[in-house]
Amino acid sequence: DAGVTQSPTHLIKTRGQQVTLRCSPKSGHDTVSWYQQALGQGPQFIFQYYEEEERQRGNFPDRFSGHQFPNYSSELNVNALLLGDSALYLCASSTPHRGGNEKLFFGSGTQLSVL
């Protein structure tokens, strides 16, 4: 049973460029959440996708956008990259929302470096 998989594992971009990160959820999961983790800090919520729609969004600018496909996989897009976007981007999947308790399972992340 494959867990959450993310690609690529590492990525180097320059300021102003655009990037797309990909995520496949754990088998049986239909909800995907994206988190940004800066060095030495805890993950911060970007947004969550369910039924191919953005269900909730954290405090991130519109440069951050996403998509969920019919097979539940998801993409995170970041436009006009800034140096401050350098971070580990984590994808987490979960089972359908039940009573507010959603156990998140994380992938290993994509390490993005913006030069």
Residue appearing with tokens 């690529």: 8
> Quick check: 35 and 16 in contact, CB under 8 A?
no
User: Interface with other proteins by CB under 8 A: which residues?
Assistant: 4, 33, 35, 40-45, 48, 55-56, 58, 90, 92, 97, 100-109
Closest approach, Cβ 51 to other proteins, in A, equals 13
Toward other proteins, which CB reaches closer, 78 or 91? Answer: 91
Closest approach, Cβ 113 to other proteins, in A, equals 14
Toward other proteins, which CB reaches closer, 80 or 98? Answer: 98
Closest approach, Cβ 82 to other proteins, in A, equals 22
Residue type at 80 in one-letter notation? A
Closest approach, Cβ 15 to other proteins, in A, equals 25
Toward other proteins, which CB reaches closer, 10 or 71? Answer: 10
d(CA 48, CA 30): 11
Toward other proteins, which CB reaches closer, 35 or 72? Answer: 35
Provide the 3-class DSSP secondary structure of residue 85.
helix
d(CA 104, CA 94): 5
Q: Which of 5, 37, 104, 58 is nearest to 66 (CA)?
A: 58
